[in-house]
Chain A
Amino acid sequence: MAKRVLVTDDTAFMRMSLKNVLEKNGYEVVGEAADGEESVELFKELKPDVVTMDITMPKMDGITAIKKILEVDPDAKVIVCSAMGQKPMVLEALNAGAKDFLVKPFQPERIIEALRKIAG
């Protein structure tokens, strides 16, 4: 069965392109969240296999959202997405429990490698 992914990013364009890449490679995007708060809510509701999480977002940032999601499910697999030069934040996200990270601009091949290695 296809792995179910929840995509989190405040830009619709980013969500769209991620979804595109994922669906072409056999993943099912079950939800899209535009901020951390929405992501946590959708996570509880949808129980996806993997969450992709942008860091800088309105309402609730990605790092806080990762912590909340892990409170709900300590085994949740979250991949944090960041821009170049956000290294400290990526480290913080990894320490908070993110399983891996992706660097923007996204390259389909890397996204799939990370998804495959993290979600199986």
Chain B
Amino acid sequence: MDFSEYKDVFAAEAREYIQSLNENLLEFEQNPQDAQLIAEMFRAAHSLKGMAGTMGYNKLADLTHYMENLLDALRDGLLGVTEELINTLFASVDILEVMLDEVIATDGIVTDTTLIKEQLIRILDEDASSETPKLSRPMDLQQGAVELPLNEYDRELIKEAVAKDFRPFAVTIVLRDDVLMKSVRAYTVFQALERLGTIAKSVPSAEDLDEERFDDRFTVLFFTHYSPEEIRDVALGVPEVIEADVNDVSLERTGPLPIGEHTEGEEDKTARVDVSSLVAAAAGKSATTERAAERFVRVETERLDELNNLVGELVISRTQVAEVARHLDGTHARAAVAQLDRVTTELQYAAMKLRMVPVKQVFDRFPRMVRDLAKNAAKTINLQVVGEETELDRSLMNQIGDPLVHLIRNSVDHGLETAEVRREQGKAPAGNIRLEARHEGSHVVIEIADDGRGIDPDKIKQKAVENGMITEEEAAKLSDSEAQALIFQAGFSTTEEITDVSGRGVGMDAVRAALDSMNGSVEIESEVGKGTTVALRLPLTLAIIRALLVQAGRETCAIPIQSVRENLRVEPKAIKTIHGERVITLRNEVLPILDLPQLLGFEASKHQGDLPIIVVEGGSAKAGLIIDELLGQQEVVIKSLSSMLGDIQGVAGATVLGDGTVALILDISAVLHELSADHR
């Protein structure tokens, strides 16, 4: 049977289940007593099995089947929780993910699952044969006959029912053990029985039935005028029902389980609902899921990009129309243009919002990664994730992953100490990493903070001098934070010992380069012995930036505001020439000065009196740009040049201004990079 049309849905849903397995495993490792987690993992494995089976991905279904067996034994308390067991489950989840990627890419699976299956079977066999159950088994998953415990409220209901000539029954329904969509099956049984009477209570609860937290049977307290035979016939008339056991309930015999020994809270909840809400609960939960599902549509990302491009074009046309309309007479034209203006702006923001996705998408993989890295490094590490709902432009999201992986690896491998070292220093043996995302103005800040050993500025200085990056005297003048910032320079490394994942300092320049290319920035704050915090600052979106507009020769240029440090007016005589290079001294800092018009191939700017200078910074270089005129600040829509002109060094793109003129958007780090390259 062909299910290829469901493949995308399958892939997306399977991915969610795998992620949930990962998350629950992580939590389960911390709380091995949590039966709820086992149940959730079991359900995830079970759902995956069913989905994969339907799609014909038998290897995937097969592995989940073995996982299911193990989880089943676990929830039955037949297995002890060992590190080996947890690691095996983690490995299984990894292999599931690999297989999922394979079926997405090629529809076939080449991964060999023999070993992992053997491992799963071995754990199951070894442990299941040991005698004493190590985990107590949760009541609501109990196999065999489901008892019907009655509480005071139930007794009241029964009395009322009897007073109205109803007969109270305990009806136990057994479904065939390979029942499909068993929650729905239970629901159809409810529907069928409700035609004969009212269901006062269900064990497991209606909620548990809806969540498929039951084996093959459930019992309901049922009030009716019909005979046991009639009830039985109706119940057996429902497909997949293989047994229907109808017993009288009397108030003298309250069932073998005294109230309270059952999971108390659950019982009370079930007891207090009336019939209609009980059934509603069975359906209502799914109604909510359904509504949630309806609120989302999966759309190909290319379509969103296309929409955004068109909106960008529209914004430009709007600006041109507005310009033309200014020369027209009549309020009608102006009102129409004003309306167009408003709608376009709103459309622009709406389209922009479509590009936003929660950082959770990227953050999700880190708990697992930290766990594995910590295991490798023999460290205990707590990862705290904050603000994962913060939204970021999708294209940025794709680029932020690698730098984050790098920074977290640095924290695990080099920032955090081993438990012994931490104890010696009077710290808690477990290291902490906090990963936080939050909004700050028009930026998103992502922070990676650890409470490890921190970065020693003296070591950094020493290394920088050794590498010939700075001289001894320069080193002596650097403040601690300036020294720490050196690790972002290309070629810097204080690696003394390289682990299999990262060398300390190696790649911090790559992190910086990545952030530069996203129009973002990176800052580091570190205190020896206390820890290190790295803050990544990102624009909300790449499509629109705030820029400073300047006139340089005949060109209008836009300088992204992130690159701008300050805006000065300098007397011509303040500019000195050192080694053939023009510089000014600004607050004890020697700043190279560049003539922007000249850089762009125009005549050098000729100013009477003070020179307007924009101090810019990018790619760890800083300089002052002499400009002809400062025009102002505004939001500009970035249009890529690459399709027509290819990449031009120093130019990030172009934008169209209100009067229809094109302004070049400068890529400051590239401009400054070229400059420093020229001088070397």
Contacts A84-B54, A91-B287: A104 and B183 contacting too (C-beta < 8 A)?
no
| A38 in contact (CB, < 8 A) | no
- Residues facing B in A50-107 (CB within 8 A) are 82-85, 87-92, 94-95, 100-101, 103-106
- A55–B400 Cα distance when bound, in Å, is 41
Partner of B54, one of A92, A101, A104: A104
Q: Which of A82, A100, A117, A118 has the most CB of B within 10 A?
A: A100
Contact residues of B: prevailing secondary structure: helix
Q: Is the CB of A14 within 8 A of B238?
A: no
**Extra pairs beyond A84-B181, A85-B9 (7, CB < 8 Å):** A88-B286, A88-B287, A91-B290, A94-B188, A105-B1, A106-B1, A110-B240
- Residues facing A in B271-305 (CB within 8 A) are 283, 286-287, 289-290, 293
Contacts A114-B239, A118-B239: A87 and B54 contacting too (C-beta < 8 A)?
no
Q: Is the CB of B54 within 8 A of A91?
A: no
Partner of B286, one of A13, A91, A110: A91
Partner of B240, one of A84, A90, A104, A113: A113
What are 22 A-B interface contacts by the 8 Å CB criterion? A11-B2, A13-B2, A83-B54, A84-B50, A85-B47, A85-B50, A85-B51, A87-B183, A88-B286, A88-B293, A91-B184, A92-B290, A94-B184, A94-B191, A100-B238, A100-B239, A103-B180, A103-B181, A105-B54, A110-B239, A113-B239, A117-B238
Min Cβ gap B192→A in Å is 10
Contacts A13-B2, A110-B240, A117-B239: A87 and B181 contacting too (C-beta < 8 A)?
yes
Min Cβ gap B311→A in Å is 31
Counting from the closest, the 10 A-B pairs by CB-CB distance are A88-B290, A103-B180, A114-B239, A88-B286, A84-B54, A84-B50, A91-B286, A117-B239, A113-B239, A90-B184
Measured between beta carbons, the chain B residues less than 8 angstroms from A83 are 3, 6, 54
Min Cβ gap A34→B in Å is 15
Min Cβ gap A39→B in Å is 20
* Nearest neighbor of B238 in chain A, beta-carbon distance: A117
Partner of A90, one of B54, B181, B237, B238: B181
| A25 in contact (CB, < 8 A) | no
B 581-602 to A, binary, CB cutoff 8 A, 1 in contact else 0: 0000000000000000000000
Interface residues of A (CB under 8 A from B): 11, 13-14, 17, 82-85, 87-92, 94-95, 100-101, 103-106, 110, 113-114, 117-118
Measured between beta carbons, the chain A residues less than 8 angstroms from B238 are 100, 117
Measured between beta carbons, the chain B residues less than 8 angstroms from A114 are 239
Partner of B283, one of A89, A91, A106: A91
- A14–B3 Cα distance when bound, in Å, is 11
* Nearest neighbor of A82 in chain B, beta-carbon distance: B181
Partner of A117, one of B13, B237, B289: B237
| B90 in contact (CB, < 8 A) | no
- A100–B293 Cα distance when bound, in Å, is 23
| B366 in contact (CB, < 8 A) | no
Contacts A84-B54, A85-B51, A88-B293: A101 and B240 contacting too (C-beta < 8 A)?
no
Contacts A17-B1, A88-B286, A88-B289: A100 and B188 contacting too (C-beta < 8 A)?
yes
Measured between beta carbons, the chain B residues less than 8 angstroms from A82 are 181
* Nearest neighbor of B293 in chain A, beta-carbon distance: A88
Measured between beta carbons, the chain A residues less than 8 angstroms from B13 are 85
Measured between beta carbons, the chain A residues less than 8 angstroms from B181 are 82, 84, 87, 90, 101, 103
* Nearest neighbor of A93 in chain B, beta-carbon distance: B184
Measured between beta carbons, the chain A residues less than 8 angstroms from B286 are 87-88, 91
Min Cβ gap B575→A in Å is 70
- Residues facing A in B420-435 (CB within 8 A) are none
Q: Which of A83, A88, A92, A118 has the most CB of B within 10 A?
A: A88
| B166 in contact (CB, < 8 A) | no
- A100–B189 Cα distance when bound, in Å, is 10
Measured between beta carbons, the chain B residues less than 8 angstroms from A90 are 181, 184
- A95–B587 Cα distance when bound, in Å, is 76
- A88–B187 Cα distance when bound, in Å, is 12
- A118–B53 Cα distance when bound, in Å, is 27
Min Cβ gap B358→A in Å is 23
Measured between beta carbons, the chain A residues less than 8 angstroms from B237 are 117
Measured between beta carbons, the chain B residues less than 8 angstroms from A88 are 286-287, 289-290, 293
Measured between beta carbons, the chain A residues less than 8 angstroms from B287 are 88, 91
Min Cβ gap A116→B in Å is 8
Q: Which of B9, B180, B237 has the most CB of A within 10 A?
A: B180
- A118–B238 Cα distance when bound, in Å, is 8
- Residues facing A in B547-585 (CB within 8 A) are none
Partner of A91, one of B50, B187, B239, B240: B187
Measured between beta carbons, the chain A residues less than 8 angstroms from B239 are 100, 110, 113-114, 117-118
- A17–B2 Cα distance when bound, in Å, is 12
Q: Is the CB of A94 within 8 A of B54?
A: no
Contacts A101-B181, A104-B54: A94 and B187 contacting too (C-beta < 8 A)?
yes
Q: Which of A11, A87, A95 has the most CB of B within 10 A?
A: A87
* Nearest neighbor of A92 in chain B, beta-carbon distance: B290
Min Cβ gap B551→A in Å is 59
B 175-215 to A, binary, CB cutoff 8 A, 1 in contact else 0: 00000110110011001000000000000000000000000
Min Cβ gap B142→A in Å is 24
Partner of A95, one of B54, B240, B283: B283
- A91–B47 Cα distance when bound, in Å, is 18
Min Cβ gap A84→B in Å is 5
* Nearest neighbor of A91 in chain B, beta-carbon distance: B286
Q: Is the CB of A13 within 8 A of B1?
A: yes
Measured between beta carbons, the chain A residues less than 8 angstroms from B188 are 94, 100-101
- A105–B50 Cα distance when bound, in Å, is 10
* Nearest neighbor of B2 in chain A, beta-carbon distance: A13
B 230-254 to A, binary, CB cutoff 8 A, 1 in contact else 0: 0000000111100000000000000
Q: Is the CB of A104 within 8 A of B1?
A: yes
Q: Is the CB of A14 within 8 A of B187?
A: no
Partner of A101, one of B47, B184, B293: B184
Q: Which of A84, A90, A95 has the most CB of B within 10 A?
A: A84
Q: Is the CB of A89 within 8 A of B47?
A: no
Min Cβ gap B364→A in Å is 21
